[in-house]
Amino acid sequence: MLEIRDLCVYFRGYEGVSRVLDAVSLNVGRGERVGLAGETGCGKTVTMKTVMGLLKTPPAIIPHGEVILDGQNILEMSAKHLLQIKGMKISMIFQDPMNALNPVFTIGGQLYDVIRFAQSRSGNGRKRARTEIHARAIAALEEVRLPDPERILNSYPLELSGGMRQRVLIAMALVNRPSFLIADEPQTALDVTIGAQILGLLSELVRTKGISVLLITHNLGVIQETTERIYIMYAGQIAETMPTALLFDNPKHPYSQGLLASVPRLTGGEIAEGIRGTVPDYIAAPSGCRFHPRCDYVMPICSQKKPPPFMVELDHYVGCWLYGEDGG
Amino acid sequence: MRMSDPLLVIGDLVKRFPVRAGIFHRKVAEVKAVEMVSFDIRSGEIFGLVGESGSGKSTVGKTLLGIYKPTKGSIRFKGRDVTTLIKENLRFFKKEAQMVFQDPKSSLNPRRSIKSTLEESLIVHKIAKNGREREKIVVDLLGMVELSPSFMYKYPSMLSGGQRQRVAIARALALNPSFIVLDEPTSALDVSVQAKIIRLLQRLQAERQMAYLFISHDLSLMRTMASRTAVMYLGRIYELAPTEELFTNPLYPYTKTLISAVPVVSEEERRMKPKKQSAGGEIPSPINPPSGCTFHPRCSLAQRVCSQQLPELVEVMPGHFVRCHVVTNA
């Protein structure tokens, strides 16, 4: 469905070039739910923006790499062509539902726009009647289990709670039946119980509709509960990828291990000391494996060459020299 | 003072905020942020307050330290009612009780160097004789939070989130307090940074025998930190128990729902989750909370009595209190 190959994204600034994404490769199969995890500043959002074609160039530079959606390279697409894909084939749910909705228009107005947009792009020239658009909007709101959809259509975003707004956004993202959905921390702005409701609803909808999902979050628990496969990203490099079910018993990359040990558990017990050092600056990113200055198992090769993904078991690849033929 | 003596006793604390509107700025309603909250914190104890937004947990913390004036109720610290303290006595309390806020970016003054920030309370309370002595204390404080002395001359914008929070902790430690309110101290941080801050807070607490009021919405973190935990919902405490007991044997339907909603990483954690006892729904407004037990519209076990009468907080097992008709009538 989606394949990112050796994607590099740099940003040109006053202080030099920030090499943010360093040959990121990632793929999402048809109907697959994939998680992309990492901490603040690891490049999750840049990856997402590149896929959505939201990256401004300049300041961003994409020296090489491909983003292939359904057989087509998004990076080489014309703006017009890209517009046809956005909101139709590929859709997105943002972190903060308040910022994603326009406060001065009603929910109905914004939802109708999305439906009309799809209609104008579908190219069959037939203008749908207002009643038909209205019916589709109502159906979309019912699908996300919003009570009294008629009233919601006439409300402004401020009149709704955070959970309801996020439901509206899910409805908007799904109304044009996309085949690929990017969800950027859909639960962080919400309370625990409300967030759980939203994640439950989202998982159920994408599963029944067979939509492929890329879920971006820093919360490993959320990834564990909603995805089938996970990518762990550190400082613009993919550290490790594996079936989500394996993560918690068998993390291989020293960064994944440190990250997982830092997560407080519901079962209690001490949490680990975290990971020593701090996240590097992208202007002077460490050479080779970018984690090497913080790694306890560092070897000479780590600072010289970036490790390729080594296969440790089926579907489980680790970008770490410890698992190379010569290492570990 | 012995370990088991209460350091802080809160009795029937009420805090309501007026909602004003119209050209005459008339009071049109009240936000019932905290309603009849009572608990005590022993010296050297970490007491946890957990709840979702609007539960009143932060308001409790801020009211305790006098940031808000309580509408009703008593707050006794080391035997003295601090709501009526003035001048000298109030100064004693402000020295003993400190706070660390959620967002270190907004709780530190961006125009002040770290040294000037840390020195302020030393000057107000006349702790050091002269500048050199103050500087020595500042260096010690930075050492306690594992920052090098060179941080003294930096400004908050030059620091990372974790470093800023360390400075905020150092500021709280400056007056050698016996009690600190920690209001979501790590919720703005990444997990690997959070782990370091939590370890630091635990080590400082053990070394200096301080008591913490730890306020958080993160139940997993609460389990790691607190020795006793109270669950708040719409301004009231509905369950209070030793943390271990609360997680292994939660009784109140909302507590169960809350624990079951936590996204977890391991199979072991999934197994310990109780079955949720809520039909979903949104958190009601604290301006106009539901009648009786305020959780009843979302509770799947609700009976008729739940909407009519507020249940009492009953001690069902030693140290385990719950406010629920269904649990106590069974």
Question: Cβ separation of B268 and A269 shorter than 8 Å?
Answer: no
**Chain B neighbors of A266, CB-CB under 8 A:** 219-220, 223, 247, 259, 262, 264, 269, 272-273
* pLDDT tens track for B254-265: 999 999 999 888
Q: Quick one: which of B217, B170, B220, B175 has its CA closest to B195?
A: B220
- Determine, yes or no, domain membership for B260: yes
- Determine, yes or no, domain membership for B12: no
Q: Give residue ranges of B with CB < 8 Å to any A CB.
A: 52-53, 160-162, 190-196, 198-199, 217-221, 223-224, 243-244, 247, 257-269, 272-273, 278, 280, 282-283
Other C-beta atoms within 10 Å of B53: how many?
14
**Chain B neighbors of A164, CB-CB under 8 A:** 282
Of A161, A220, A269, the CB nearest to B265: A220
* Domain hosting residue B271, numbered range: 253-330
- Determine, yes or no, domain membership for B144: no
* pLDDT tens track for A255-271: 999 998 888 888 888 88
- Determine, yes or no, domain membership for B329: yes
DSSP sequence for B18-85: EEEETTTTEEEEEEEEEEEEEEEEETT-EEEEE--TTSSHHHHHHHHTTSS--SEEEEEETTEETTS-
Q: In chain A, what are the domains?
A: 2-89+178-323 (3.40.50.300), 96-177 (3.40.50.300)
Residue A128: predicted pLDDT: 66
The answer on pLDDT for B279 being more than 80 is no
* pLDDT tens track for B107-116: 899 999 999 9
User: A321, A252 in Cβ contact below 8 A?
Assistant: no
- Determine, yes or no, domain membership for B227: no
* pLDDT tens track for B109-156: 999 999 999 999 888 888 888 888 899 999 999 999 999 999 999 999
Q: How far apart are alpha carbons B69 and B236 in whole angstroms?
A: 18
pLDDT averaged per 10 residues in sequence order, chain A, 328 residues? 88 85 89 90 86 81 87 81 80 83 90 82 62 88 88 89 89 89 86 87 90 91 90 92 86 91 87 82 87 90 89 89 69
User: B193, B224 in Cβ contact below 8 A?
Assistant: no
Q: What is the tally of structural domains in chain B?
A: 1
Amino acid at A312: V
Question: Cβ separation of B196 and A274 shorter than 8 Å?
Answer: yes
Residue B155: predicted pLDDT: 93
**Whole-structure pTM value:** 0.87
Q: What is the DSSP letter of A185?
A: S
Omega before residue A58 within 30° of 0, cis: yes
- Determine, yes or no, domain membership for B322: yes
- Determine, yes or no, domain membership for B276: yes
Q: Does A202 touch chain B (CB under 8 A)?
A: no
- Determine, yes or no, domain membership for B149: no
Q: How far apart are alpha carbons B26 and A171 in whole angstroms?
A: 40
Of A196, A197, A274, the CB nearest to B195: A274
* pLDDT tens track for B35-91: 999 999 999 999 999 998 888 999 999 999 888 889 999 999 988 888 887 777 788
Q: How far apart are alpha carbons A159 and A133 in whole angstroms?
A: 23
Phi and psi torsions of B98, nearest 5°: -130, 175
